[in-house]
A and B are shown apart, each in its own frame.
Chain A
Amino acid sequence: MLAVANTEQLPVAAARNGNARAWDALFRRYQLPLYAYVAELVRHEQTALDLVQESFIAASRHIATLTDDARFGSWLFSIAHQKVVQHWRKRGRESALFAEVDETLDDRPADEAIPSEWIIRREEEERFLALLAKLPEPHRAVLLLHYLEDFSLEEIATVTGAKIGTIKSRLHYAKKSLRQLLEEQP
């Protein structure tokens, strides 16, 4: 079990004061979820490591812009998200995270189930990950943020720079697609 510390216990204030040990604790807490998020989007190990490193450096330099210490996690993910967007922009994939996808579910209620409630059976694990990879990138990004850190819709909107309504729609669509695909395939 990969346990993580509670957000409230994170030494953000000490890190803001330049405490290296506090930064170490913060990075240790977020390094794997952040890497998982970036790696699932860019699908290249070394690129993901580079982007995580750039995100850590940017976070340590721009900690003064963080207004709410309790939002350190979503703030760090938003930096990483921007790094991914910049990476794609360099490779001519500027519109990857802003691509038009079939979002016809705006008026439907979002799936309110919390991420930990969905238990995936062992035999479904590989298929779940494969199906996750098939989702359009905007939907995959929203779903990853939801699963990895259980961010609120508002926080996911902040990370991705999209409207809350759009996030709600994408999350609902992504969850529904995944469930349907898992149920359809033997």
Chain B
Amino acid sequence: MKTPRELLLHRHAAAVPKLDAVRAEVVGSLQPHPAATNWFSIAWQELFWNSRRVWTGLAAVWAGLLVCNFALTDRSASAAASVMAQLPVEEMRRLRQERAQLRAELLGGLEADEVKTVTPAPRSPGPRSDLRREDEAIV
């Protein structure tokens, strides 16, 4: 004579050795308490390892962006270098002279100019109606 509980447990009692093995495996794989480990392993576990898929995805995106960036930068730099290389020496010299001349004109103009600042004379304090009357008298 058994209760339903005893009957059910007795039915599956043969699985106890396997359950013991499962329990031992799980308990053996338990990580030590966080207090017993250093902060780096805690940070690694909490910040990175738990979200490793997300971090891996972000890293892949960044890697893709860097590759694209390097590819585009190299292409534009090499294109500019090839254009410069195609110009003849005389043309280059003429362009440099023009640039130097332009710079000299700009700098010289700045030194020659005197900036005059005109400050308006302060009006005497008084009612706005007086100011309006003065304006009408001028007209």
Contact = CB atoms under 8 A, between A and B. Distances in A.
Given A2-B9, A129-B7, A56 B23 contact: yes
B32 A35 contact: no
A112 to B, nearest CB: 16
Given A49-B15, A56-B23, A56-B26, A125 B7 contact: yes
A1 B6 contact: yes
Tier of interface size on chain B: 20 to 34
Given A39-B15, A45-B15, A116-B3, A53 B8 contact: no
A120 B8 contact: no
Given A18-B32, A27-B26, A45-B15, A119 B1 contact: yes
A53 B7 contact: no
Given A23-B30, A32-B16, A119-B1, A56 B8 contact: no
B4 to A, nearest CB: 4
Interface residues of A, number: 39
The residue in A19, A120, A150 that gathers the most chain B C-beta atoms within 10 A of its C-beta is A120
A147 B1 contact: no
A32 B27 CA distance: 16
B135 interface: no
Given A18-B30, A60-B30, A2 B23 contact: no
Interface in B1-39: 1-13, 15-16, 18-20, 22-27, 29-36
Contacts of B32: 18
Interface centre among A18, A48, A60, A122 (most CB of B within 10 A): A18
Contact of B33 (A17, A27, A115, A148): A17
A52 interface: yes
Nearest to B37: A18
Contact of B19 (A18, A52, A60, A129): A52
A37 to B, nearest CB: 9
26 contacts: A2-B6, A17-B33, A18-B30, A18-B31, A18-B32, A20-B30, A23-B26, A23-B27, A23-B30, A27-B26, A27-B27, A32-B19, A33-B9, A36-B11, A36-B12, A49-B22, A52-B22, A53-B22, A115-B5, A116-B3, A119-B2, A120-B3, A125-B7, A128-B4, A129-B11, A148-B9
